[in-house]
Amino acid sequence: MNATIAVITFRAMLGRRRALLLLALPLVLLVLSVVLRVTDNNDIDISADVLQRFGLATLLPLLALIAGTGVIGPEIDDGQIMYVLTKPIPRQVIVLTKLAVAIVLVAAFAVVPVLMSGIVLQGTTAGMAPAFTVGVLVGGVAYSAVFVALAVLSRNAVTIGLLYALVWETLLGNFAPGAKSASIQQWALSVVDALTSASPVKSTVDLPVAIALLVAVTAAGTLLAAYRLRSLPVASAE
């Protein structure tokens, strides 16, 4: 980890208008939860639905996409990464720092809102709020690693990431159960499932398999990003 890189990355991510963008979705989730609670529509099925569909399946991948690609993608695109790469710093330190910043952002803008929303909706019933919090956190780590790697590998990281999160995980998952099991979302859901006694939460993947896959994807993403950054061709201005 490198504190200087972390500070610059946080400033780049939270400065300007991007911070507002990061705040929009969690705010919607919180407002929705409060409205459901006030109108007494917060039974366990609806709560689980909101936390799973909105929190885990929408808010989390989108924020992880913004954070994961945002911590390094723009810097590579406009060549600023040169100022970091021309320093005697091992590449894996750069990647790990960027990943850590992405995870902290995901924690702040997805994990904490999901916890708050869970408490607003269900209090401590069935351990649902903490279960979803842990699930979103472990999913967030894996998503961040994948999207950071994607941002180092491709200039079209955001598009590819969106296609993966929306088309593969959400849409295809509805039609093809096989595709559903091969998604970070389902693995994270499996963790949630194991932690809560609430019956509406059902995962298609067994917990040990899910944990193994989450760890594998996180490690693979990090290694790939570090390896690729070692030989990143920085395009010239021409």
Q: Where do contacts with other proteins occur on this chain (CB under 8 A)?
A: 2-5, 7-8, 11-12, 15-16, 78-80, 82-91, 230-234, 236-238
In three-state secondary structure terms, 87 is coil
Break the chain down into helix, strand, coil percent, rounded to 5. Answer: 80, 0, 20
Q: Which is nearer to other proteins, 3 or 174 (CB)?
A: 3
| Nearest distance from C-beta of residue 63 to other proteins, angstroms | 21
CA–CA gap between residue 159 and residue 23 (Å, rounded) = 21
Cα of 191 vs its chain's centroid, Å: 15
Closer to other proteins by Cβ: residue 16 or 53 = 16
Shortest distance, CB of residue 69 to other proteins, whole angstroms? 17
As a whole number of Å, the CA-based R_g of the chain is 18
Query: How near is the Cβ of 107 to other proteins at its closest, in Å?
Result: 23
Query: 40 or 78, CB closer to other proteins?
Result: 78
CB of 82 to other proteins, least distance (A): 5
**Measured from the CB of residue 3, what is the shortest distance to other proteins in angstroms?**
8
Q: Which two tokens stand for residue 123?
A: 């209090």
Side chain identity at 87, as an amino acid letter? K
Phi, psi of 118, deg, nearest 5:
-65, -40
Residue nearer to other proteins on the CB measure, 80 or 204? 80
Smaller CB distance to other proteins: residue 84 or 191? 84
Alpha-carbon gap, residue 75 to 62, rounded angstroms: 20
Round to whole Å and give the CA distance between 89 and 91.
6
